[in-house]
Structure 1
Amino acid sequence: MWKTHRWLLIALILLTICRWIMAGAIELTEDESYYHLWSEHPALSYYSKGPGVAATMGVSSFILGDSAFGIRFFSPLLGLATSLLIFRLARSIFDTNTAAWSVVLLNILPIFNAGSILLTIDPLSIFFWTAAMLALWRALHRSNASFTWWPLTGLLIGLGFLCKYTNALQLISIILLLVIVRRWRPHWRKPGPYLLLATFLVCTLPVIIWNAQNQWITVTHLIERGQLDEETGVNPGEFFSYLGMHAGVYSPVIFLGLLAALYLGIKRVGKDFGETFLILFAAPIIILYFILSFKEAGEANWTAPGMLSLGVLMIHYFQLARWSNRTKGIVRATAITLSILLTALSLNLDVLRKMGVQWPYSLDPTTRLTGWQSTADAVEDVIRKSQDNLGDGIFLICDRYQSAASLHHHLPDDLNLIRPTEAHPKVFIPQSSIILNQFSFWPRYDSIAGATEGEPGYTPFLGKNALFISTHPRSNPPEEIRRAFRHTQPLSTVEIRRLGMKLRDVRIFVCYDYQGISL
């Protein structure tokens, strides 16, 4: 057992070092730039998420700087910690062999490797989800745990909720466990579950307070995101598309195994304590998003927390399968090889292009995540060449909030841009009276037409020129931009290329004499 622990730990440490190296070598994605911009505007909560990811990025970038490594520093550590937690959980429920293979499975998954390099809400969510499961397992099996492991479980679920709201679904799993498993029903008569709930509710206060101050905008956003406000019909094509996404990010062979484990686990609910525990932390979230996908395919990472315990269950069932050792060896080797190959490609699809495969970026789903430093360099070049003709100080408007966040991060601070305070972003989005994203809560450029200095509605942007940056092909300034300026005209179209192929077009327009909004 000690040899298993030692070699597994050494492998995980080496893998973590490799992930740190990659974290510093890969440029920030749009989502990471957006969340890092949040960290520059500390708040109790944000438009679509709690404060967890912004706080994490704020701490690491404060200590290590705003480089890709500094922003992502915690992500490889979260991958390491989650792996160790999975090992402890699987060993507690089954045995050391199952635990070791569960860790191997976890660390060859394309989705987990991406999440252990890039820092988004998912590595934080998965870490707290796993930690909460382990704490609950101990709460269920240790006497006098009402004032220790139960509230700790509530704290971990609450911290996970502050990173990703779906972590609250663990409460449903806990209720089902205490209802279905007769052995654990007596806990309803003890203070443990109620202390868990109370601790969790305390953790939700930042989100509740912020939303109470902002028209409960997050609730509206989540309803719209799930299309729960629309009477749309069932679309089986969306469901199969969602399954296809999962096959890609989990690798096809492993995903088939996970589906088999889901089926077997549901059939065996109540027959084994460990199996029931794991399946009830997997089935609710997975089934929920699979059902919602009949309306519209969501993101494959939404089900990721449930896949953690399902992976442990899959390893357990695989070891119990009455297959020959030769058959198991072939299946295991195929699954591992294919998953490692997909992981390598998902982290750098340019490998195929360097091998001579002419895969156009227009058909590459990861294109929106890459090339933002070169895009910012091209935009910077246009700005510097245009500033003499556009007057003293301009401001920038981008068509998408993700692109605006990326340009904000990558553009240098010495550009002659109108930025009255550090709270103003370097790049704005078209202002709207409708709250659409976090940019709506930060200082804006919009003002009332005709207002003079010192009057309400006046800003230093009045009368100034702007550049409108479109990252959509053949996209023109929207109507609200054309109305707000005296005149707009095309300035430049920049083709961003990578490995000799077109990555994206960036169209830049001059917007003359900002007039403000007419009331």
Structure 2
Amino acid sequence: MALDEMARSDSARAWRLTLILVGALTLFRVLALFLTPLELYPDEAQYWLWSRHLDFGYFSKPPMIAWLIWATTHIGGDAEAWLRISSPLLNAGTALAISRIALRLYGDQRGGTWVGLAAAATFSLMPGIQLSSVLITTDTPLLFFLALTVWACVALPAASPRARVWVAAGMGAALGLAFLSKYAAIYALASLGAHLFLSRQARRAWTPAMAVAFFAVLFLVFAPNMLWNIEHHFSTLEHTAANANWKSGKLFNPLELVQFVGSQFGVFGPVPFAVLAVGGLLLAARRRLAPADVTLLCFALPPLVTVAAQAFVSRANANWAGASYVAGSVLVAAWLLRWEARRWLVGGLALQAVLAAAFLTWVINPRTAEAMGMANSFKRARGWDQTVQAIIARAKEEKAGQGLTAVAVDDRFLFNVAAYYGRDYFGTSKAPPLRMWVHEIAARNQAEAEAPMTEPLGRRALIASLEGTYRGKIQQDFAATSDLQIVSVRLDRKRSRRTDLFIAQGFAPVPRDPVTGLPPDTPWKAGK
């Protein structure tokens, strides 16, 4: 057999194996969604609530996640699995796009036939992707559209002059959709700028017509969300900026930086993140970076460096650097194959495959997680339905008596899950309206902004205080309150969730402090 025919045969075999791997993982994850007894996380319930009223933006996030939930729940209904099902499907699409990026950039290097499979496996078995495949989060569509953006970027130099304008327009559309998923897409703009600055080949590939096509399509796709933000006083952008939290606590936090870097070994995977960090430093120091390496480092480094700096001056969540996963997966696979470190590649992937199997086992049967000491990881996805049903039962009891003007909660998590697990009750003619007690002088979340407690609705309200945290402050806002009923829901052998229920009458909120925005202090403490 000729060498070219052998190469084509190996490439076809590698692509088939990639499809089998990604397809099998996706099938297992979809099955886990329909088999798991785990309930929605409160943020997922919030996204579902948004999807009931489609818009171009929401209080804390762009609209893509609500659009996805709207689409999948219109197909299968409002069960938890149908809320989440777009996540494993989008992650599969991202993995396949990553495979094509890897082949485009490294298909000609030694071992390049298998680089697409290795990159797709590195991404698909990443612990962070395992988690995001059984939840509905904004990171999942973000990574999918970023992968399409990077794919278009690396395809530009090989495209014909006429096709390049269309590729640039497609890249603008993909990046615009990434912005509609999560504002972390801003890193991609910085990455493209860095790539143009560092790569003469990239600068030669672009023409003024391509730049116009790219930015025009990007603006057209993203403009509706910007207009929504203007109409809503930039609430989403302000909430995103507020997450930085630079004004609270010490300005420099080395421990936060160490914790963030350490968390990346857990999110990206121990071997892949070590290869990405150490390999990038060594290759840069020795000036042995290939042009393809430079391209992908331009996409991988800005999120990691920026979020690490954020962790140092304030705090940062582990997933905030998720925009680096796409390029990072390709780099890790390409470098390990280039260095002929196949044992490290196979060993790292085998370790993550074991973790993936264990995680899916925990999701399907949470008792196994409890037996292995991992129950704490799932506590926010358990016990909500039981809590909400207890609130509804108390509301029905009061309805049969003097009646209620509202059911009010003091925590956005509880509001979101009450809206979801009480969807067959709240909003019906038999139910009092579900409302949110506003803690500060201004709304801090969408529930407080769109469903605040008001004086007419507070004539006689059932109050549900999660863990009793704000019970004392709530009581200050009412003329009279009833005796306390405590609802305790067991989450696992060690943990339970408490909700305080009581009737409050005569809502007349005390003035909030104009400086802090908070109600006055009270000697009452939670649990007393």
1:510 is aligned to 2:503: yes
Does the 8 Å contact 1:75/1:123 carry over to 2? Answer: yes
The 1:225–1:266 alpha-carbon spacing in structure 2 relative to 1, beyond 3 Å, is farther
Distance 2:476 2:299 in 1: 52
Instruction: Report what 1:63 is aligned to.
Output: 75
Distance 1:394 1:98 in 2: 63
Instruction: Report what 1:406 is aligned to.
Output: 417
- What's the CA shift for 1:153? 0.3
1:471 is aligned to 2:471: no
State the secondary structure of the residue aligned to 2:245: coil
State the secondary structure of the residue aligned to 1:374: helix
Alignment of 1:272-311 (within 5 A): 272-311=290-329
Instruction: Report what 1:87 is aligned to.
Output: 99
Deviations 1:381-424 (A, max 9, x none): 443445445x2234222222122101210125236978999xx6
The 1:9–1:356 alpha-carbon spacing in structure 2 relative to 1, beyond 3 Å, is closer
Q: How many residues align?
A: 493
State the secondary structure of the residue aligned to 1:70: helix
Instruction: Report what 1:36 is aligned to.
Output: 48
Does the 8 Å contact 1:485/1:513 carry over to 2? Answer: yes
The two structures, once aligned, show a CA RMSD in angstroms of 2.9
The 1:51–1:321 alpha-carbon spacing in structure 2 relative to 1, beyond 3 Å, is same
Distance 2:332 2:428 in 1: 55
Further displaced range: 98-107 or 342-351? 342-351
Does the 8 Å contact 2:408/2:453 carry over to 1? Answer: no
Q: Which amino acid aligns with 1:87?
A: S
Instruction: Report what 1:342 is aligned to.
Output: 355
The 1:303–1:283 alpha-carbon spacing in structure 2 relative to 1, beyond 3 Å, is same
Instruction: Report what 2:517 is aligned to.
Output: none
Alignment of 1:33-432 (within 5 A): 33-95=45-107, 96-144=113-161, 145-187=163-205, 189-228=207-246, 232-264=250-282, 266-267=284-285, 271-321=289-339, 328-329=342-343, 331-346=344-359, 354=368, 357=371, 359=373, 364-389=376-401, 391-414=402-425, 426-430=434-438, 432=440
Does the 8 Å contact 2:73/2:83 carry over to 1? Answer: yes
State the secondary structure of the residue aligned to 2:480: strand
- What's the CA shift for 1:131? 0.7
- What's the CA shift for 1:304? 1.4
Query: Structure 2 residue aligned with 1:435, among 443, 448, 452?
Result: 443
Does the 8 Å contact 2:482/2:502 carry over to 1? Answer: yes
Instruction: Report what 2:24 is aligned to.
Output: 14
Distance 1:345 1:28 in 2: 20
The 1:142–1:416 alpha-carbon spacing in structure 2 relative to 1, beyond 3 Å, is closer
Does the 8 Å contact 2:87/2:136 carry over to 1? Answer: yes
Deviations 1:59-117 (A, max 9, x none): 21122211112212211210111111011111111123111011111121121122122
- What's the CA shift for 1:275? 1.1
1:496 is aligned to 2:489: yes
Distance 1:20 1:312 in 2: 25
- What's the CA shift for 1:163? 0.7
State the secondary structure of the residue aligned to 2:403: coil
- What's the CA shift for 1:165? 0.4
Does the 8 Å contact 1:404/1:429 carry over to 2? Answer: no
Does the 8 Å contact 1:395/1:417 carry over to 2? Answer: no
Further displaced range: 179-188 or 204-213? 179-188
Deviations 1:355-401 (A, max 9, x none): 8748496xx24422333223323333443445445x22342222221
- What's the CA shift for 1:161? 0.2
Distance 1:226 1:419 in 2: 42
- What's the CA shift for 1:501? 3.8
Does the 8 Å contact 2:437/2:453 carry over to 1? Answer: no
- What's the CA shift for 1:36? 0.9
Distance 2:366 2:70 in 1: 35
Does the 8 Å contact 1:471/1:505 carry over to 2? Answer: yes
- What's the CA shift for 1:497? 1.3
Stretches of structure 2 that go unaligned for 5 or more consecutive residues are 1-10, 108-112, 513-528
Q: Which amino acid aligns with 1:477?
A: R
The 1:407–1:310 alpha-carbon spacing in structure 2 relative to 1, beyond 3 Å, is same
Distance 1:360 1:188 in 2: 50
Does the 8 Å contact 1:485/1:514 carry over to 2? Answer: yes
Q: Which amino acid aligns with 2:486?
A: T
Query: Structure 2 residue aligned with 1:5, among 5, 15, 19?
Result: 15
